Copies of this chain bind each other. A is one copy, B any other.
Amino acid sequence: MAKQIEGVYERILACAKEEFLTKGFKDASLRVIAANANTSTGSIYTRFHDKQGLFQQIVEPVVQGLMEMYLRIQETFSRMDGKTQVENMGSYTSASMDDMIDYMYDHFDEFCLLLDASYGTRFQNFMEEMIRIEVEYTYKYMKHIDCQSISGGEVTEEFFHIVVTSYFNSVFEVIRHRMSREEAKRYIRLLNKYHMAGCDTIFYPERY
């Protein structure tokens, strides 16, 4: 009864991360990964079924973790009463983002894979999916609190989507620059202000 050789699993994952990060999913070569991990292509298939499976194994826990955290944040916010929501939106968003950044830095490589190396996998739309959810929730909320520029039709859901994408991408860009966690947080706090001010121009255009 042969047992899976200890350490191989981990080595494959480590080498796969590197290969995927360097070349992207499609251009990554399983043979190269196997060779670097000092094992055989076959043993990748035993453990991960196929190339997609390998990528998924690396990335899925982080996807789920991120999604859970994200939904928890949304959930918590939506359970607040209306007044609290309005009063704390800024600080809550900021604190939440801090937690998210921590999570991303705790799973840095995996997150980078999702960001820039997932083309060709079923995760290639992960970021878009998150943005979609964010847009949906927030847009509903803005409508709910009767935001004028939305009910007035000046800010469509599509435009809001673009803005949120811009926001997320600016955060991701910080990640891509591979700065230290603290520096990143400082920058992202600045970005929050930046985008908050930007959002004001959208939702309260009369002030501009």
The reply to whether B162 and A170 form a contact with Cβ atoms under 8 Å apart is yes
User: Does A195 have its Cβ within 8 Å of any Cβ on chain B?
Assistant: yes
Q: A159-B187, A166-B167, A197-B208 are in contact. List 15 more A-B contacts (CB 8 A).
A: A2-B40, A158-B179, A162-B177, A165-B173, A166-B169, A166-B173, A166-B191, A169-B170, A193-B205, A194-B199, A194-B201, A195-B198, A197-B197, A197-B198, A198-B198
Known A-B contacts A165-B173, A170-B163, A170-B165; the reply to A201 vs B208 at CB < 8 A is no
User: Does A202 have its Cβ within 8 Å of any Cβ on chain B?
Assistant: yes
The CA-CA distance from A162 to B195 in the complex, in Å, is 13
Copies per complex of this chain: 4
Minimum CB–CB distance from A86 to chain B (whole Å) comes to 19
The 24 listed contacts between A and B (C-beta, < 8 Å) are: A2-B40, A26-B26, A158-B177, A158-B179, A161-B177, A162-B173, A162-B174, A162-B177, A162-B187, A163-B194, A166-B166, A166-B173, A166-B191, A169-B170, A190-B201, A193-B198, A193-B205, A194-B201, A194-B202, A197-B197, A197-B198, A197-B200, A197-B201, A197-B208
